[in-house]
Structure 1
């Protein structure tokens, strides 16, 4: 790959520009301390009290930052378990509710559909009211409606409960990545991001295992109730130990406190939180849609993430039926095979964490500056493993090969999903740090729609083409537009971000 070229950005809004950091300075993300002469002479301007200000989330103790990270990660695991845990129980759910196989699959996929729309509201609200209360209230909403699903006896109530609980569960997509950006500096984000995304992705793997056991032993309704109990415990923990992490809001609160104590009009750099509430909420709610419509790099990432996620849920929802229908195994045993995905996730998360942090530091020293494109190289092995896993799993299943051969293929696929997804999400985080919640929501909008649609046509595709050609079709499509993705972003990413930033100049959505 050639070095990505950054265009001149000195006249661009600082709120969304990624500043260049020379190699002879620290590689850390600086707290917003002013260097401009006019601003530094403004004694009423509130910033952090130096790089080591203990009130800045970057400088909180390691234990505290990990506790926050793991809380959000566990919430994400509940979210993804709620989507996949039903896979072994779809037959029983369909029988008890008197619905078809496609309608039973929709019980899973409609939950995922809510992930598209929930973050588009929750993420901007987190930029107005902070991360803490948005996460807590959304999680409480999930617990309520997920519990209702366990009591449903009709298709309508089940589908309504699933989509409403999905809106609450989508807080994981709206809050987790922004919290990571709040708490961890750039050189530490690879490792923290790997753990934070690895734990949630255990959900799609562990979920079906537990789902098979619970369905067989005590019935499918307890799938919902067990998840509600677990997430309820997380909400109680968050009430006690989840502090606010959003830098802008913390500085605004500091300014308000100083103004009350002294009577002087202290202010922050943007003063966005001093705007009228209705104005703040309206602009914030419009921001993710506006970014998706105007920022080319977000548009590109949205497409690639969407197809990755769609294929992942395609595999997750159909994997259990492979073992029950073609290998004639029990529902319980079919769930155990998801351990293969856990192994693939683990290898990718732990290996990818170290590689991405090493690459970030190495490229920064070599090039003399930082750039979001330094997160992109990990997409290449991710795509290779993802494609290899699809072909391997599909043709092994088609030939009814020994179970270990199929599971190895799925593990390779899971490894590729983790590597490529982490690289893309970290790229978005590094590109739009000031509005990472909105940027993250807009980049994931399409992927949740794909995650909803793909499982619906999975049975028809496998029935018509079989596992071999069915998976190969998905892989060939990905080769067409997914393989060039890292090279396009590496070469043109800086230019495309510059184009998007030029469009943003003077826009109230990024004020």
Structure 2
């Protein structure tokens, strides 16, 4: 305080009441003031609580996690059906690709591989906007629109007048058909409690694994009997059934959207415009759009866990599609199987996937109960099954490659693919559940980032696969893949041990 202020204060008139105020009076005045401020704070907090629209407790029946089994099951079954259907269509073309090339008078081997893998390329572009849109407008509008467009794209593929048109329509099939793969994880995060997610995610993960395996079996016999266009018509019929089931059985499950609906209803009933939800501050359209569109890319490039595990998942997914596109070369060329019979060779990986489902899904939920002492759950508890499971993939690749190179009995390389199937299914399930548990409310964005990387690699790897096998042979070609898979086997252990430290590190904390 400067000199002029001190002088002014000394010269100010003195209040007589203050001169007559004793210590007890001053204490009473302070007590009254404190009481008044405290009451005001309590009233303000009470008013804030009264204006907050949230679930009516953890047991609120309106909360998707508390829905009845039938209500949950019809959503889950529909999503699993559509998730299975899309990867099925991606490889049904593989055995009949020579028919397609003959129809359009083309003999380009690179283009032949691209007609198959362009479907998977659509998985790369679709998730980048489908996942964010589901967090902007809810899950159900995205499901409905994409299921209808997926059906339309299959019809267009059946009627394709040229090879270039077929490539474009198959790209759209992958783009819109990838919807349940992209946001299915988010829906299960809405519906299923963490301690029960393992089995459900394992069943759901079976679609991306078993679909590509069963596709060539169906496509081989169907293409041989009725021609490649009927493969597209069968997919169109099946996707139409999925679209109808989606309209009939699926419901909105995204909590922010459900609470927004509750908010609008209560505002209309009470006339109170001050009501809000816990997410209201983050539900402004411009903010939602900006954050939702860039969220998958932020997770992919700024979160080490998402980027590294997505790359790992993508490489293994690429291996699967490389094997899918080269099985006809191996078993038709070396073992002289027919076009229809060669589809049965994919069953080895299918049996392995079922075994991986049984083991991974059961062990995952049991481990959660053992490791989550006193309810202290961590997303990293999803990774232990993958620590040994990762080694199944390189073992299977070495086994398949060298047994096929030495032209042993045809059952021996197929047994090798069983190992690849076990490891691949455990990997897909563990990483999917880890992303769901580590990114609550943003599961769709995390899965979108993972699906985009996985699909891009899955589309590009088969294009180089034939050249690799021609240069190195089946033995050393698959060994090269196996050594790379072996080098990545320590990743699950590393993230199990240090994942929490990385997630909570301020350097990697993202404003999502």
TM-score, structure 2 as length reference = 0.88
1:269 maps to which of 268, 278, 292: 278
Unaligned runs of 5+ in 1: 1-36
Q: Secondary structure of the equivalent of 1:370?
A: coil
Q: Deviations over 1:64-102 (max 9, x none)?
A: 212211211111111101111111011111221223121
Q: Determine if the alignment matches structure 1 residue 94 to structure 2 residue 101.
A: yes
Q: 2:425 aligns with which of 381, 395, 418?
A: 418
- Structure 1 equivalent of residue 57 of structure 2: 50
* Superposition deviation, residue 281 in structure 1: 2.2
In the alignment, what sits opposite 1:488? 494
Partner of 2:254: 246
Alpha-carbon deviation of 1:476?
0.7
Instruction: Give the Cα–Cα distance (whole angstroms) in 1 for the partners of residues 500 and 143 of structure 2.
Output: 33
Does the 8 Å contact 1:388/1:413 carry over to 2?
Answer: yes
Q: Which residue of 1 aligns with 2:26?
A: none
Give how far 1:444 is off: 2.5
Q: 2-side partners of 1:422 and 1:39: how far apart? A: 44
The CA deviation string for residues 269-317 of structure 1, in whole angstroms up to 9 with x for no partner, is 1215641x34422331121112222222111112111111111111111
Report the alpha carbon displacement of residue 501 of structure 1 after superposing the two structures with TM: 7.1
8 Å contact kept, 2:205–2:428:
no
What CA distance in whole angstroms lies between the structure 2 residues aligned with 1:498 and 1:243?
Answer: 34
* Equivalences, count: 467
2-structure distance, mates of 1:248, 1:368: 25
Indicate the residue corresponding to 1:34 in structure 2: none
CA contact (8 A) 1:147 1:224 kept: yes
Report the counterpart of residue 284 of structure 1 in structure 2: 292
Match of 1:310 among 291, 308, 318: 318
Kindly indicate whether residue 382 of structure 2 is the aligned counterpart of residue 375 of structure 1: yes
Take 1:205 and 1:288, find their aligned partners in 2: how far apart are those partners? 29
CA contact (8 A) 2:322 2:465 kept: yes
Shift of residue 404, structure 1, vs aligned partner: 1.6
2:172 matched to 1:183?
Answer: no
| Pair 1:434–1:38, CA change in 2 (3 A) | farther
Q: Which structure is richer in relative contact order (CA contacts within 8 A, separation 6 or more)? A: 1
Whether contact under 8 Å (1:140, 1:232) holds in the other structure is yes
1:337 is paired with a residue of what secondary structure? helix
Q: Would the alpha carbon gap of residues 274 and 380 (structure 1) be closer, same or farther in structure 2, given more than 3 Å must change?
A: closer
- Picking from 436, 450, 457, the partner of 1:443 is 450
Kindly report which structure 2 residues correspond to 1:132-151, keeping only aligned pairs within 5 A, or say none. 132-151=140-159
Which residue in the other structure is 1:30 paired with? none
Mind listing any 5+ residue stretches in structure 2 that lack a counterpart? Answer: 1-43
- Counterparts of 2:437 and 2:46, CA distance in 1: 25
Relative to 1, partners in 2 of residues 1:298 and 1:274: Cα closer, same or farther, differing over 3 Å?
A: closer
Aligned residues of 1:39 and 1:45 also touching (Cα < 8 A): no
Closer, same or farther: CA 66–359 of 1 in aligned 2, 3 Å: same
Q: Secondary structure at the match of 1:493?
A: helix
- Listed one character per residue, the Cα deviations across residues 359-416 of structure 1 (whole Å, up to 9, x for unaligned) are 1110002x76111110111112221111111111111111111122121111111111
Tell me the SS of whatever aligns to 2:407: coil
Contact 2:391 2:486 in 1 (8 A): no
